[in-house]
Amino acid sequence: MYQLDPPGGEILKLLDTHAHIHFHQFDKDRKDVIRRIEEKLELVINVGIDVEDSKKALKIAKKSKKILCSVGIHPHNAKDTDRNHLDMLKDLADSEKVVAVGETGLDYYRNFSPKDDQIRIFVEQIKIARELEKPLIIHARDSF
């Protein structure tokens, strides 16, 4: 592991602003990952990519003082998102453990969702973020 030695001997505080520790890849060692976060990091933001995924991210965040989360609909999931999903997302986003809306945005590289759906869901999440006064976590790939 790389060791950082800050000038003057002060303690260097590290944080991860974009993690997905609620993903199934961490099912076997999630407790150890969270323990290491508690021991080594100042803060982690666990990022949601759809409503059910965002619920998982929030559940983990509620168990740790060092884990916060964002809730959102990734552009790949836009085609499967309706008004009910957006209402649920807004309710989740109102939690004090939720520090941002996203991962949201536009991804025209893979096009797993049609462009019109991606734009519609992105705009709706911008509205949620503005209403709740939370920043956005934006995913943008080949979207310019």
In whole angstroms, what is the distance from residue 67 CA to residue 39 CA? 12
Give the per-residue pLDDT at 1.
42
Give the per-residue pLDDT at 126.
99
Give the per-residue pLDDT at 80.
97
Give the per-residue pLDDT at 3.
54
Domain 15-141, CATH: 3.20.20.140
Confirm if 121 and 75 have CB atoms less than 8 A apart. yes
Q: Which amino acid does the sequence have at 76?
A: H
| Domain spans of the chain, in order of start | 15-141
Give the per-residue pLDDT at 13.
83
77 by Cβ neighbours in 10 Å (0-12 / 13-18 / 19+) ranks as buried
Which residue is associated with the tokens 């100042």?
A: 42
Nearest to 126 by CA among 140, 142, 138: 138
Tell me the mean pLDDT per 10 residues along the chain, length 144: 58 87 92 92 95 96 96 98 98 97 96 97 98 97 90
Give the per-residue pLDDT at 14.
87
Record the pTM.
Answer: 0.88
